[in-house]
């Protein structure tokens, strides 16, 4: 059965990655490609790597242009999806790659985003307990943020096994600038970024903080806290998150590793690396894979988990396609690879 899809925000990084993943599938028909400021141009001017779509004209993002599709992906700036989604019928599967519908707390949304909360949709992280059942057959999906995806999958087995209780979680996560989108910003210029690393969103103000805490609570933490420091580094794609938390009681490195091995044994897109290997971003570029490694810092009495993913694939577009597959009753892994590109 052919599924007809539309992508709003097709000229951006997330929209382009969604199209890259879907163009190789013979069960997908690419319908309307829309944007705002670039409407009327040809897609090849913005996404030169998507050769089959070079001559497609980018349409304006309107409900009329998005109508008549089985699936609509919204790869729009935060705050822009809700208005568009409200105009789409209940019969279409709408997948929001932005933040508009991720948070359950209206108070937290208003605190971190400063606008009215649009509501909450089923959360597109299948690896959370019970989430595949939630996503099966749904018509609305909120794709997680790239940092929350990385951090949640790094810490999930420890929370579920009671190895840590979620208080005093500390995260430091270098990432590439593609997560900030294509908008022109001085600190993302090549001359500013090359040869440099810089922290940002420091001190609990990053918008992904409440989403991380929301996920920790779903994994069993009663009163979690997180100190999160993202670091901008000169690589186009990738996140490498180092996550530490106090151990909840006496344990060994062997017991911690056993808990992680059991948790991720049957997951198609999360891989616990062999002992002695540590995640690196180049190994997951272009893939929907998350590489995880774990250790115990006995002197500090802390668990240390490190995870790497491609922020545009598993962190955004791959997670969207994975969730779409589940919602449509297809194989979860359809069209997605675990093979990265290196060097």
- What amino acid positions are annotated as catalytic residues? 146
Q: How many residues would you count in the chain?
A: 343
The residues that bridge with 242 in the sheet, in sequence order, are 172, 306
Strand order in the sheet with 140-142: 59-60, 28-35, 3-8, 71-74, 93-96, 140-142
- The two tokens of residue 329 are 């009753």
Return the sign of the alpha-carbon dihedral for residues 154, 158, 164, 166.
Answer: positive
Nearest Cα to 313, choosing from 72, 106, 22, 9? 22
User: To 5 degrees, how large is the angle CA 3–CA 84–CA 51?
Assistant: 50
The alpha carbon dihedral of 257, 263, 264, 265 has a sign of positive
Backbone angles phi, psi at 37, to 5 degrees: -65, -25
By CB atoms closer than 10 A (0-12, 13-18, 19+), residue 282 is middle
| Residue 198 preceded by cis peptide, ω within 30 | no
Select from 314, 281, 276 the least CA-distant residue to 294: 276
Which runs of consecutive H residues, i.e. helices, occur in 182-275?
A: 190-193, 209-218, 253-264
């Amino acid at each position: 059965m052919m599924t007809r899809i539309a992508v709003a925000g097709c000229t951006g990084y997330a929209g382009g990655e969604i199209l890259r993943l879907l163009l190789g599938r013979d069960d997908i028909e690419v319908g309307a490609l829309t944007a705002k400021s670039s409407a009327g141009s040809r897609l090849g001017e913005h996404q030169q790597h998507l050769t089959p779509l070079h001559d497609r004209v980018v349409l304006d993002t309107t409900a009329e242009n998005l109508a008549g599709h089985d699936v609509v992906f919204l790869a729009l700036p935060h705050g822009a999806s809700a208005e568009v989604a409200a105009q789409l019928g209940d019969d279409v599967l709408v997948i929001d790659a932005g933040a508009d519908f991720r948070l359950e707390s209206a108070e937290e949304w208003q605190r971190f985003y400063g606008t009215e909360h649009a509501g909450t949709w089923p959360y597109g992280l299948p690896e959370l307990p019970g989430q595949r059942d939630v996503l099966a057959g749904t018509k609305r999906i909120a794709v997680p943020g790239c940092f929350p995806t990385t951090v949640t999958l790094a810490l999930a087995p420890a929370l579920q096994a009671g190895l840590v209780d979620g208080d005093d979680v500390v995260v430091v996560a270098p990432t590439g600038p593609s997560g900030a989108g294509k908008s022109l910003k001085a600190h993302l210029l090549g001359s500013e970024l090359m040869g440099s690393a810089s922290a940002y969103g420091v001190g609990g103000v990053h918008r992904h903080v409440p989403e991380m805490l929301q996920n920790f609570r779903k994994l069993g933490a009663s009163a979690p806290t997180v100190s999160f420091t993202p670091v901008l580094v000169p690589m186009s794609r990738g996140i490498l998150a180092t996550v530490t938390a106090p151990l909840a009681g006496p344990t060994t490195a062997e017991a911690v590793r056993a808990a992680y091995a059991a948790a991720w044994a049957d997951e198609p897109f999360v891989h616990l690396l062999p002992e002695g290997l540590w995640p690196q971003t180049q190994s997951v570029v272009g893939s929907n894979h998350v590489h995880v490694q774990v250790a115990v810092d006995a002197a500090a009495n802390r668990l240390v988990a490190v995870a790497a993913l491609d922020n545009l694939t598993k962190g955004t577009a791959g997670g969207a396609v994975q969730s779409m597959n589940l919602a449509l009753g297809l194989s979860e892994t359809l069209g997605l690879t675990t093979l990265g590109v290196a060097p």
